[in-house]
Structure 1
């Protein structure tokens, strides 16, 4: 996993070539940053660090730099960004690349250079000789969107860098509150880890106390309160969102997305789809599917259809000015509470 590569870098165990690819930019950027921080000193940056955008610069120019001896230091770091020739995606190349030069370099890399190939693509073209060669010779970091198990492993490893342990329930709550965006999770984990530095343990209370909620997670909590007939708490969350200057029309849109997701998860589960397959099919994170599945059991198909119709009607009333925007959602919440009451 990517954090295993980070640990090697922090122990100054460098590979000559790194291939970073995938659709999770946070992991790619974090790996690049760790290499820069540990491989060369700030004083060497001007002399021994280079970044080349291969959408603008021929690869052979970057290779010439990689073959140049470092100046006033032990090593060079050369980063190749956007290697369009590694992907099967149709892209209009602005420059021609002498890929043979890269092939020759990879077969015999300069021992004093760390060459980093950062390919922000979900898939590489495995049919190409250069792709096979790089994968064989380089340390490969696949920066993909993490599933729930991988996400929890990543969180454990992330806090362990500060010698801190995190309770399982605390991890579940953090993901539910902050979502699955790694940049946001990192910010929250760093903050909570600082708070837990004396006990070296993050529990559910610390997460509840310190985690910032995204709009989507606030609305998930709002729906959850209504599902469990806690209408006062649901309204409190809604009024807090208004105080934070969140637009009612935006809140309504996220509510509609959440109930559509609940409906889709319920229907696909009935057809025999597992949560991982559902996530892949409707292109959302598996953890969102898991949470939606938990909420789906409180609604019948007819109730969900009615709720989605209510939301569509509310959207129409907001956009046509037939009803005061704030009042539309208040009325919706009371009607939703009535539906939730029927299920109990």
Structure 2
């Protein structure tokens, strides 16, 4: 949904009112920046203002929206934290004249773009103001992107930053850098500097420049254990320790990975697809896809045994029964032996 909204904004097809809601703060910020770039360009110093509804009443933002732009054709007004759209109580008592907002929504100023940023998982659909706003606005729910959307977003961001990426390079960035959009954006900034304006990033360059995320390293570690490549598994573990990752954290992530593999194996046996499993377990589809590739290599007995060993190692770490790093090493070496 957000990708479609971005296409419209880039095509200069603007709505007088926008409603952006959801918990993906990066996409919310990027959509606001895109509107500022496409609508105002260099005129934002004169024709842009923002109001926080936890500190200011809505009528202040409406009055601004009804005021003509200064030396320009358009102006943008951001409305942050519109708590009156949710069932949440306000931290500080601010009285909002919602009738004034409802009247504005029926006839918005043609020279103003009014943007509501609602960083909430859900809006209160029972409220009249919520219904009126959703009816009048171009609305988009900003939530975690699916795997195809992440790849589309990576390619789009690269183009926006002035370089292109081969499809294989996009795949590598998505797999190595994880799904956190703030982290991905930082890595794309690095690729942009390397490529230069109009440059191109291929798969080999992407692999060279993008460090593996902790999540990806844990997957690689698990994969080496599955293949009984104890030496490779230990090398990955030692690299993580050199990066100041705590053994207890590594152990917890390994335990989470094996639990995920077990759950995926069980749900797949019951006929669930990967997208359904991702929804049921509330994890990103990409994690499910990676773990599903390992699930068939374990029997149920092996997985429950590994989870039990991890739980025992975790207990020993927390009770001070043994050296933490040594416990992880012993666990990896034990799993690396043939059954």
Question: Which stretch has the larger CA shift, 120-129 or 204-213?
Answer: 120-129
User: Aligned in 2, Cα 1:261/1:44: closer, same or farther, shift over 3 Å?
Assistant: closer
| TM-score (normalised: structure 1) | 0.89
Aligned counterpart, 2:267: 268
**SS in structure 2 opposite 1:192?**
helix
What CA distance in whole angstroms lies between the structure 1 residues aligned with 2:319 and 2:190?
43
1:246 to 2:245 alignment: yes
Structure 2 segments unaligned to the other structure (5+ residues): none
Aligned counterpart, 2:213: 214
**SS in structure 1 opposite 2:250?**
helix
Aligned counterpart, 1:336: 335
Aligned counterpart, 2:24: 24
**SS in structure 2 opposite 1:136?**
helix
Per the TM alignment, residue 105 of structure 1 is displaced from its structure 2 partner at its CA by 0.9
Contact 1:51 1:81 in 2 (8 A): yes
1:181-230 Cα deviation digits (max 9, x unpaired): 11212222332344345885443322211112222221111111221222
Aligned positions of 1:35-50 closer than 5 A? 35-40=35-40, 44-45=44-45, 47-50=46-49
Per the TM alignment, residue 294 of structure 1 is displaced from its structure 2 partner at its CA by 0.7
Q: How many residues align?
A: 337
User: Aligned in 2, Cα 1:70/1:247: closer, same or farther, shift over 3 Å?
Assistant: same
1:170 to 2:169 alignment: yes
Question: Which stretch has the larger CA shift, 184-193 or 116-125?
Answer: 184-193
User: Aligned in 2, Cα 1:8/1:218: closer, same or farther, shift over 3 Å?
Assistant: same
Aligned-pair Cα RMSD in Å: 2.3
**SS in structure 2 opposite 1:40?**
helix
Structure 1 segments unaligned to the other structure (5+ residues): none
Aligned counterpart, 1:157: 156
Aligned counterpart, 2:60: 61
Contact 1:177 1:217 in 2 (8 A): yes
What CA distance in whole angstroms lies between the structure 2 residues aligned with 1:199 and 1:237?
36
Aligned counterpart, 1:75: 74
User: Aligned in 2, Cα 1:230/1:198: closer, same or farther, shift over 3 Å?
Assistant: farther
User: Aligned in 2, Cα 1:34/1:213: closer, same or farther, shift over 3 Å?
Assistant: same
Contact 2:163 2:195 in 1 (8 A): no
Contact 1:3 1:157 in 2 (8 A): no
What CA distance in whole angstroms lies between the structure 2 residues aligned with 1:102 and 1:86?
12
Question: Which stretch has the larger CA shift, 306-315 or 90-99?
Answer: 90-99
